[in-house]
Amino acid sequence: MPPEPTIEAVGLVKHYHAGDGGVVRAVKGVSFAVNCGEMVGLLGANGAGKTTTLRMLATLLKPTAGTARVAGCDVRHDPVGVRRQLGYVSATTGVPDRLSPREIFTSFGRLHGMPPADLPGRVERLLDLLDLRRCADRPAGRLSSGQRQRVSLGRALVHDPPALVLDEPTNALDVVGARDLLLLLGELRAAGHAILLSTHRLHEIETRCDRFVIIHDGRVVATGTRADLVAEWIPGRDGELEDAFFAAIGGGGPGASS
Amino acid sequence: MTTPAGGSSSVRAALAIARRDLLEFVRDRRTLVITLLLPMATYPILALSTALGLRTATHEIDARTAPLPVRIGLSGEDAARLAAILERTVESTPRAERDGWPREVTLGGVEADEAQGMLDRGEIDVWIEARPGLVADLGARGTVELPVRTVTATPSAHFVREQFEAFMRSVARDVTQERVRHADLPATLLEPLRLNFPPSADVAPPNHNVFSTIAGGVLVLLTVLTLTGAFYPAIDAIAGEKERGTIETLLIAPCPIDAIVWGKFLGVLAITLATLVANVVSIAATAAVSLKYLPVGIVASLPEGALVAATLATVVAFTGMAALAAAVCLAVTTASKSGKEAQNTLTPVILLVSAVAGTALLPGMHGGPLLAAVPFAGQIVVARTALGTGSTPPATAGEIIAALALSLASSAVVTWLLLKLTASTLADEDVLFRGQDVAASPLHRPAPQPRPTVFQACVPLVAGFAGLWYAQGLVPSDLCLAIPVQQAVAVLLPLALVLWWQRVDLRGTFAWRRPARGGWTAAVLLGAALLGAGLFLTGAAALLAVRSAGISDEARQLSARLVALIQGRPWWMAWTLVAVVPAVCEELLFRGWVLAGLLGRQRNNRQAVGLAVGMQAAAFALFHLLPERMPQTFVLGLVLGTLVVVTRSLLPAIVCHLAHNSVPLGILWLAGDVPDLAAAVEAGSAGAGARLPGWLVAAAAGAVVSGIAMMTLAVAATRRVASERNSGE
């Protein structure tokens, strides 16, 4: 029997109430899985339903139908259990400006109920892992964008969750910051974390993710490794992930006419 | 990778959030300014200016009312003889009995044609023209007119005149005594009564009101500053976290949303309490210093001994207020997306709450014990009672403790409700992830929606209360016109305006559907009618039982006007006005619009439903204005709200309300034409000491029980049919 995936979405549906009295069907039945020690990229255009899907996984939104499980905990029936097993970072996630990285990690460790005796050691390890030791006691408001994003990731990692969900984590970062963050995520994958991340910047993750899930208009339109996607959507051509992506969402793009 | 921590209990999570927030708050310069610097600066400035102002005012009054030297010029033929009489009074009156007199009286003769010039030049203060025979007339029994002119242009003219008059009263007294002696009458004729106070008579110092005014002002200021203490932390706690993008990090913490709200509340409360303590310390220190600047009379009037206990009671009562302030500020700012939006929303609320607090200083606000339960005003009432400045005679220790307990209990309940509201708002996905400041464009007509929002639900209520208030002068005294005008101004017009502005699904909002399937509809409606009639009678029995508490003049007058309307008009007109119009209009507003807005989409959340039903019932009770009617209308509101939630239809609520209001008409028609009943009701003599007969109370209880049973059966049967149909499909 194959091991249960660490992150699993099963027919997730989300409807919003629109301002004009109608209903917006943002996600229309999304299913995928992320296994332990695997990094999966969730790809899609703006408005495809990526953020809504990730927010449902993080229990910030309640699914209209379907469900999702994180390390065996169901988002509908055991949201608190899901939050214990999950680290979540989004592009819009900020850090408290008046607290230092050390204080932020410590306070979230307490919030996750970590034993007081273990907490200082865990915080020190995180500061080393994220290369934040030099600015460990500086208010987060005075840190660079890259440092702040690493603090955000550290906050999500403080309770050492088996699953990590990241919504466009490299958006606010320059090339160097983005590369450092992705290298770090690679290390976490090697350590056994299941990582699901969404991004627009396909070239950044093309070679770093094990598999990809492409969603379009609230539905999964393609899934597989880079090679699988290229073979399925642009057969017979040696294209890139971006070409396969555009072919999958039917939106044209660089490789569509060639 | 290690196994994740076993999670945290709600209490531990709340404490962790509070600790984190506190660390952030104390690093915010605004918090430190509001918490420490403002109280340190405010009270010394106020105290010094008040004390110096009072001292200056007292000195001015003392200086102006001090005895003055008064120069009297006498002219005319009898001038010398009149001067002799005045001189005699000066010589014969001991200094101790010269109450209100001038410091010194100088008499001198003047020429009549020069006297006015001397007055104008200030050479004399008073000029008396003594005509020939004046002194002889004084010895007779008549009243002698004495032509007198005094200075008018000098600053002390008023006091010159007052003191001259006091002197002349003494002269008149001597003349009267002379007349009595000449008439061979006893001197006691002029003193029929002598007041005899015991030597130890304890009289309140004359300046007691000054202390009361100062204490009241300081208490309102303390309330405003306590609210201000909660202002920035509350904005920072949730709206600020949304603006910084950190709220998500808390919402994905492994704890219920209530724990997050309690953590936020504890953090804000800690800062609010610190502000309160800083204020109290500043007040105490300032008072100790500024006592020496206060006039002696005011210092002597301060209540001794009880001051420490009263301060303690004030601090305890205001601790409840600090919790209230923290909860209000959090509840108001939770829906805001940014600190600026939260500030814009909270500022008018703070002003409104300050106005409520200010009402505690109004005359008569020391009266009923229930006043202590009024949020923000009750704490001031308790503090004034404890300080002994609000009531006469001073309250006993037991009364103070009871008021304090009531105030704290009320604060705890309201705080808990507000935190529930905060948690419900925070969990609302539409609020959490809505777009940019919707509230920033109030004149933009909202897009059509299925039902009103909470804010929109409250708009016609506020407009209705305003309508009730402003229409008071326009409402005719005849109830035949007054009832339709009131319902139109306070209910229909605000509802129509908000319906036009906010386009909603009318059928869904007003629950305009059959309450049950098939024949069960009749059962639901009959049950609702029985319930309404039973509720009126049980309410009337309860009111008669507690009537010894007294009924206000307004309530008696209204009852008398209702009786006159029912007896004096055709039955159909009276029934329409007293039962049909209020039942339809008020149900459309309260159980239709308001309840739909308060419920939102949370119809499956029992706590949210209970809160919504309770809130609309409270608004319904307040709408009836008279305190005597509020308990019964609150219970009626609860029942009607529950009916709508259970049957998902407004119709049973209208029928129940209709039956409730129809019962008094039925009773009066059954009683026949009782002459002068309206006058007797207004005088309070009708039915004094009356009780409803036992059989009627039992019938009322039976009607309530059977009404509930019929509706329960009908609703259950309808649900059973619906579920069978669903499973069949």
Q: Which residues of chain A have pLDDT under 50?
A: 252-258
Distance CA B260, CA B250 (A): 7
Q: Which residue of A has its CA nearest to B427?
A: A60
Distance in angstroms (rounded) separating the CA atoms of residues B33 and B228: 11
pLDDT at A14: 92
> Nearest C-alpha of chain A: how many angstroms from B289?
38
Residues pairing with A222 in the sheet: A214
Query: What stretches in chain B show pLDDT beneath 70?
Result: 1-8, 64-65, 199-211, 290-307, 364-369, 389-394, 434-444, 546-551, 671-691, 727-729
Going by the DSSP 8-state scheme, the letter that residue B69 receives in this structure is E
Share of chain A above pLDDT 90, in %: 48
Question: Which residue do the tokens 């609230």 mark?
Answer: A218
Within an 8 Å CB–CB cutoff, is residue B251 touching chain A? Answer: yes
Chain A nearest-CA distance from B341, in A, is 19
Nearest CB to B7 within list A80, A88, A94? A80
Query: What's the rounded Cα separation, in Å, for the pair A205 and A197?
Result: 9
Angstroms from A150 CA to nearest CA on chain B? 14
Q: Which residue does chain B place closest to A36, by CA atoms?
A: B1
CB atoms B23 and A98 under 8 Å: yes
Give the strand pairing for B126-129 and B148-150: antiparallel
In chain B, the residue whose alpha carbon lies closest to the alpha carbon of A52 is: B433
Residue B186: predicted pLDDT: 87
Question: Which residues of chain B lie closer than 8 angstroms to A103, CB-CB?
Answer: 20, 23
Q: How far is B651 from chain A (nearest CA, A)?
A: 25
Contact (CB<8Å) B5/A112: yes
Closest A-chain CA to B246: A94
pLDDT in tens, A177-223: 788 888 888 988 999 999 999 988 888 888 889 999 999 999 999 99
What residues of A are in contact with residue B249 (Cβ under 8 Å)?
A: 93, 108, 155
Chain B residues inside the 8 Å CB shell of A86: 252
Across the interface, of A60, A62, A162, the residue whose CB is closest to B252 is A60
**End-to-end CA separation in angstroms for chain A:** 44
pTM equals: 0.70
pLDDT at residue number B192: 83
pLDDT at A215: 93
d(CA A132, CA B66): 80
DSSP summary character for residue B394: P
- Give how far the C-alpha of residue B45 lies from the chain's centroid of Cα atoms, to the nearest Å: 29
Cα(A95)–Cα(B245) distance, integer angstroms = 7
Beta strands A39-43 and A194-199 are parallel
CA–CA separation, B627 vs B621, rounded Å? 9
Interface predicted TM-score (ipTM): 0.89
Nearest CA in chain B to A17: B430
Check B20 against A99: CB less than 8 A apart: yes
Length of chain A equals 258
- The pLDDT value recorded for residue B677 is 64
**A219–chain B nearest CA distance, Å:** 22
What are B485-497's pLDDT values in tens digits?
A: 888 888 899 999 8
pLDDT of residue B261: 94
The alpha carbon torsion through B143, B149, B155, B159 (nearest 10 deg) reads -20
Q: Contacts of residue A107 in chain B, CB cutoff 8 Å?
A: 16, 19-20, 23
- Site from A112, A158, A185 to mutate, B interface, most B CB atoms within 10 angstroms: A112
Dist. CA A82–CA B255, nearest whole Å: 11
In the prediction, which pLDDT does A2 show? Answer: 63
- Smallest CA–CA distance, residue A234 to chain B, in Å, is 38
Q: Is B379 exposed, middle or buried (0-12, 13-18, 19+ CB in 10 A)?
A: buried
Q: Which residue of B has its CA nearest to A141?
A: B244
Name the minimum distance, in Å, from the CA of B654 to any CA of chain A: 28
Tell me the chain B residues in contact with residue A95 when contact means C-beta distances shorter than 8 Å. Answer: 244, 246
CA-CA distance, B233 to B26, in Å (whole number)? 9
Distance CA B661, CA B579 (A): 5
Strand, helix or coil for residue A64: coil
Q: Is B437 on the interface with A (CB under 8 A)?
A: no
Q: Do B4 and A161 touch (CB under 8 A)?
A: yes
CA distances from B25 to A50, B170, B182, B324, B326 (A): 35, 72, 89, 19, 14
Residue B305's pLDDT is what? 59
Question: Is any Cβ of chain A less than 8 angstroms from the Cβ of B191?
Answer: no
Distance from C-alpha of B214 to C-alpha of B212, rounded to nearest angstrom: 6
Of the candidates A88, A110, A193, the beta carbon closest to that of B1 is on A193
